[in-house]
Amino acid sequence: MKKTMMIIALFVVLMISMASRSDRDYQAAKGFSAPELELVGGSDSSKVELSDLKGRYVLINFWAASDAESRIAAHGFDRMMEKADKERLCLLQVNMDRSMRLFREIVRRDRLNEAQQFSVTAEDASAVKNAFHPNEGLQSYLLDPDGEIIAVNPSIETVARAIAS
């Protein structure tokens, strides 16, 4: 009887650890590979897939007009890219607003580089949220050349240090 109870207890522990592990595999977090993402450019409708950017560092910044912190980060990252080595680093600024008109107006007002801006449709927004599972608010992710997430919400200094190494 004790042996049976021990086997059942071991089985339960194993199942719980597997369930928590599989949930973690689908969460975008430091140390995990980034989920596949396909984006359509806001200005020219060009398509970009993360898998096409392997070999370069990629900074993905999710932002929205209503989220002041993410909007400030978008401006800072945009300015950072003016001096960055574009052969080593790619910036994907992903706007999560539902209104394309609002997106274009904010890009114009904030003087953001249109080539780095991507908008997500309402249908795609839920897929992006399901892929990246942001814990709180809108986040940014720095990926290494192999597509592994090496930083969540990195500062400009963190990005500069990562690509310099």
pLDDT digit string (tens) for 14-52?
Answer: 556 544 433 333 446 666 778 787 777 766 667 888 888
More confident call, 47 vs 7: 47
Alpha helices in 46-121 (DSSP H): 68-81, 100-109
78's tokens = 């945009």
Provide the edge-to-edge strand list for the sheet that holds 89-95: 47-49, 38-41, 117-119, 89-95, 57-63, 140-143, 149-152
- 66 versus 77: the higher-pLDDT residue is 77
Tell me the angle at which helices 68-81 and 156-164 cross, rounded to the nearest 10 degrees: 40
pTM: 0.76
* Whether residue 80 has pLDDT greater than 80: yes
The predicted pLDDT at position 154 comes to: 93
